[in-house]
Homo-oligomer: A and B are copies of this chain.
Amino acid sequence: MAALTDPQAAAWNSYQRMRVRLSGVLGRELAAATGLSEADFEVLVAVNERPDDTVRSLALRCGLEWEKSRLSHQLRRMEQRGLITREACEEDSRGSAVRLTARGRELACEARKHYDAAVKRYVMDSLTPEQIAALTEISGILLDRIEITHK
């Protein structure tokens, strides 16, 4: 006896295919338009949302919900490419602060435009408002489910 019914398996299969293809095209378009990866993009946008384009690593990490080593590796690569700089943190000398370079700031804006446009084009323009609401609701339910069972 299978664990999933036919409609359930169909839902899972199409979700999986969609998920893979969608993040594929979005990542590819972002890279083509700006040279950034999705990881770069997430960091740039998160930092750019802060006053002075500066944020402490810890706050960034919590906002992104990333592992600390992941953020550390990512910031190292971004620093090498001149997207950010890192400076000491006053309140806690263990910590560090991340600041966008001029180039980082510029790319953050550019990338956001491209990315949002792509999301609109591939996703939002294809769905009815009801479907968009359904997607929000479904995602919220599943998120809650995961949070609860892993609390």
Tell me how far the C-beta of A6 lies from the nearest C-beta in chain B, rounded to whole angstroms.
11
Contact A17 B136 (CB under 8 A): no
Contact B15 A124 (CB under 8 A): no
Contact of A21 among B10, B19, B23, B143 (CB under 8 A): B143
Tell me how far the C-beta of A138 lies from the nearest C-beta in chain B, rounded to whole angstroms.
5
A145-B122 CB under 8 A given contacts A8-B132, A14-B136, A136-B11: yes
A residues contacting the other copy or chain, number (CB 8 A): 48
0 or 1 for each of A94-138: is its CB under 8 Å from B? (1 = yes):
000000000000000000010011011011101101011111111
Measured CB to CB, the residues of A under 8 A from B are 2-4, 7-8, 10-12, 14-15, 17-23, 25, 65, 113, 116-117, 119-120, 122-124, 126-127, 129, 131-143, 145-147, 149-150
